[in-house]
Amino acid sequence: MNSLGRVVEVVEAFNRSVEAQVKRTRRDARFASELRRRWRRIQAQIPEIEIPTGLKFPRLALPPTDEPAEIARYLFGEGLPGEFPFVNGTYREMYLEKAESGKQKTEIEEPTRLFAGLGLAEDTNKRFHYLTHHQRTIRLSTAFDGPTLYGLDSDADGVFGKVGEGGVAIDTIEDMERLYANFPLGNEHFSVSMTINGPAPILLAMYVAVARHRFGPRVIPKLRGTVQADILKEVQAQNEIIFPLDASLRFLRDMVEFTTKYMPRWYPISISGYHMAEAGATPVQQAAYTLSNGFAYVEMFRARGLDVNRFGPRLSFFLDCALDLEYLALARVCRKLWAVGMRDAFGAGERAQLFKLHTQTSGRSLITSEFKNNLTRTAAELLLAYANATNSCHSNSADEPFTTPSEEYVRLAAHAQAILLEESGSFKFMMNALSGSPGMKIVERVVERAMLEEFHQLDELGGVLAATELRYQRSQIQAAAHRYEQQINDGTRPVIGLNRYHSAATESPAVNVVRTSREKKQRQLDRLEKFKRRHRSQSERALDQLAKVVERGGNVFAELIDTVEHCSLGQITARLADLVGRYRPTL
């Protein structure tokens, strides 16, 4: 049996143990009254808050019950926020506004995170500075252009039109320097996230090298941020992979080993279901494949000799939130399965049991026709994401089906989050104000069962890697995508403004399309050429040195931090591809 089969077992055992506690309350009167006392104690400790209308409320909403069986089911089966198995949230307070002055200050984690990347590095840098005017802490999230995502230089054959489109063009360490210029890279209130996978180790190496240039080597352990680097989902859904899977996983392991040892604040991998959902996965497929990929990475890093309690807390997750009913409780189930699996199948301690989740509202749910409805879609999805206690969230801009979002719609998307978290009273005054409805509980149960069934299926196929090679997840996702399209076509899946309440007007909406001009693209090429010329004498030697490390099985990431000083992204991927081959796409 694979580790996934073991996860299914421990979750089932956990559920049985919760039921056993529930039954015990019925026959063991002492246990029942003990539990009741504990429950009262918990309630008594909850502080009150007076909201602007003058009414007072508890800061944490608990089920209104005095029944020991229900108390047991809640405390053992769901846990208080911040307690195992974390169904109600990874932390105690999540989005709560700071308690009144005079009381102990609670640290607020700013959950808003906006994805940006356009044109050249300096353009994105400007956008970052613009965006962070609206944020209390600086958390940058970076999108890269197509050539960068595929590890190609801007001067590669036939990619000119793609330079700076849909994300920022990064070819060299100098571009990386421009990208985050004037931001305090080592500051504890600054973090950066990079959405990059195939060439992730190279881009992160550039980031580390830039930080080293600007702040000296002692900044490295202080760097905070995330690099997506989730190669399994690339094979399963997103298709941005450069090297064969085995080699890609080796480069990933090297990077994770390095960050685990020397960059303890870094999240070296963001295990992502978002792209699966965007490619057509159902909510359950998304969640099940993402968690199973997570368990596969854990197994892989452990086999590398890394301690689950050191790398475990640095794993984070990234899921889509759309409008399907499952999203009412999807993240709640994920937190539970991850915590139980990590504790009972992998022996992980509490910090490594946390399913730290970044959510993005669904891009696929946004459409072009009557596109301003997208504002409503995103708002509804945001509500679901926060009701699921996501740790951070990105809200899509309404104009995203057309273009890299314009500033107007980026602002509206950011404000949507502020309206929910700061203007509305649903999240800032009371923790768990929306959790625990009968419907939410039912969705939890059904989703959990379906996810375990998926785990079982993957286990039968020989585990995540074997199933991936068999194209199992990929073909399941494709089949789901096909079904989704058919449902839109035949109207069983209503899309307002498209197959229902469609207005006759067909003119295309006036949105400001953001494109990168020819001149800018050319400027990037010129810079790259200058870089290559300047480093001509050292680049070959640096690449040879890298090749040696690859061939003798050394840590490739540690070497890349030096390689990027003299070599461009494209030069490095080309040399690595010579050594390990190129990824062979599957249908």
| Residues in contact with other proteins by the rule CB under 8 A | 145-147, 149-150, 152, 157-163, 165-166, 238-240, 244, 246-247, 278-280, 367-369, 371, 401-404, 478, 481-482, 485, 489, 498, 507-508, 513, 515, 579-582, 584-587
φ/ψ of 60, rounded to 5, equals -130, 130
Indicate the residue among 237 and 329 with the shorter CB distance to other proteins: 237
**Rounded CA gap, 348 and 33, in Å?**
32
**Rounded CA gap, 520 and 122, in Å?**
11
Nearest to 199 by CA among 162, 231, 163, 235: 231
| Nearest distance from C-beta of residue 357 to other proteins, angstroms | 24
| Nearest distance from C-beta of residue 159 to other proteins, angstroms | 6
Indicate the residue among 79 and 198 with the shorter CB distance to other proteins: 198
Sequence-ordered list of residues with C-beta below 8 angstroms from that of 42, at least 6 positions apart, any chain: 62, 80
Confirm if 164 and 141 have CB atoms less than 8 A apart: no
**162: which 2 tokens?**
């793609």
| Nearest distance from C-beta of residue 508 to other proteins, angstroms | 4
CA 333, 338, 343, 344 dihedral sign is positive
Q: Identify the DSSP state of 496.
A: B
Omega prior to 401 cis, within 30 of 0: no
Confirm if 315 and 46 have CB atoms less than 8 A apart: no
| Nearest distance from C-beta of residue 546 to other proteins, angstroms | 16
| Nearest distance from C-beta of residue 300 to other proteins, angstroms | 16
Indicate the residue among 103 and 584 with the shorter CB distance to other proteins: 584
| Nearest distance from C-beta of residue 479 to other proteins, angstroms | 10
Indicate the residue among 481 and 574 with the shorter CB distance to other proteins: 481
Nearest to 356 by CA among 327, 307, 392: 392
Indicate the residue among 88 and 362 with the shorter CB distance to other proteins: 362
| Nearest distance from C-beta of residue 380 to other proteins, angstroms | 20
Indicate the residue among 135 and 369 with the shorter CB distance to other proteins: 369
Full strand arrangement of the beta sheet holding 114-116: 114-116, 138-143, 190-195, 225-227, 266-267
Indicate the residue among 174 and 278 with the shorter CB distance to other proteins: 278
Indicate the residue among 44 and 587 with the shorter CB distance to other proteins: 587
The DSSP bridge partners found for residue 485 are: none
Indicate the residue among 219 and 550 with the shorter CB distance to other proteins: 550
**Rounded CA gap, 375 and 328, in Å?**
19
**188: which 2 tokens?**
């504890």
- Bridging pattern class, strands 114-116 and 56-58: unpaired
| Nearest distance from C-beta of residue 218 to other proteins, angstroms | 37
| Nearest distance from C-beta of residue 566 to other proteins, angstroms | 25
Indicate the residue among 388 and 476 with the shorter CB distance to other proteins: 476
Q: Which residue has the tokens 């009414």?
A: 55
Indicate the residue among 385 and 514 with the shorter CB distance to other proteins: 514
| Nearest distance from C-beta of residue 580 to other proteins, angstroms | 6
Confirm if 326 and 284 have CB atoms less than 8 A apart: yes
Full strand arrangement of the beta sheet holding 315-321: 269-272, 315-321, 357-361, 392-394
Where do runs of H (alpha helix) occur along 343-437? 346, 373-387, 407-418, 425-428
Q: Which residue has the tokens 């504002």?
A: 375
DSSP letter string, 555-569: -HHHHHHHHTTT--H
| Nearest distance from C-beta of residue 150 to other proteins, angstroms | 5
Report CA-CA distances (Å) from 440 to 304, 385, 401, 443, 542. Answer: 39, 13, 31, 5, 56
**Rounded CA gap, 523 and 22, in Å?**
68
Indicate the residue among 276 and 348 with the shorter CB distance to other proteins: 276
| Nearest distance from C-beta of residue 412 to other proteins, angstroms | 17
| Nearest distance from C-beta of residue 503 to other proteins, angstroms | 13
| Nearest distance from C-beta of residue 539 to other proteins, angstroms | 23
Indicate the residue among 224 and 275 with the shorter CB distance to other proteins: 275
Q: Which residue has the tokens 């999807």?
A: 330
Indicate the residue among 82 and 509 with the shorter CB distance to other proteins: 509
3-state secondary structure 73-142: HHHHHHCCCCCCCCCCCCCCCCCCCCCCCCCCCCCCCCCECEEECCCCHHHHHHHHHHHHHHCCCEEEEE
Confirm if 552 and 153 have CB atoms less than 8 A apart: no
| Nearest distance from C-beta of residue 584 to other proteins, angstroms | 6
3-state secondary structure 111-122: CECEEECCCCHH
Indicate the residue among 35 and 322 with the shorter CB distance to other proteins: 322
